[in-house]
Amino acid sequence: MPRLIIHDERLGRSKEQVLTLDCLSEYLTVRELIRQRVYQEVGDYNQTRFGTAEKPVPNLLVTPTEMEARLNAKPSKIGPNREKAIDWEDQYELACRGFESNAFFVLIGDQQAESLEERFHVAVDTEITFVKLVPLVGG
């Protein structure tokens, strides 16, 4: 079965493997790749928030909004029964907009993806790297 090995990279930091996804299809678009990654990350994030996961999974694309972070704070800080799960579809839309606005780019092997609709072949252990760009202060 074809498998995607997903890495995150930021300037000044080493590349780290974030997750592995099994694919049922030989071809994916960048949009489908982002969708699968965000769906998996949000599921992992929500499991961590509700205490069913062993440890937090580092992430790049899932960044809860300030309101989500406040609502998901520990119950002792905001009162009982206030925690809510993060919506993966909202995070997916944010990630797609981030790709289109160059907040991050995607390398498939050693080729940069140009658009969300770009199709690529998924082989055994295809390496994908998400590179997050950090805006410079003052320029």
pLDDT band at 139 (very low <50, low <70, confident <90, very high): low
For 78-122, write each residue's pLDDT tens digit.
445 556 778 899 999 999 999 999 989 999 999 999 999 999 999
Tell me phi and psi for residue 5, to 5 degrees: -105, 115
Quick one: which H or E segment has residue 110?
none
Could you give the 3-state DSSP secondary structure of residue 54?
A: coil
Three-class SS state of 96: helix
87 vs 138, residue with greater confidence: 87
Q: What is the mean pLDDT of the chain?
A: 80
CA dihedral 41, 54, 74, 94 (to 10 degrees): 0
Q: H-type helices in 4-125, by residue range?
A: 30-49, 66-71, 75-78, 88-100
Q: For strands 27-29 and 104-108, give the pairing.
A: unpaired
Q: What is the pTM of this model?
A: 0.78
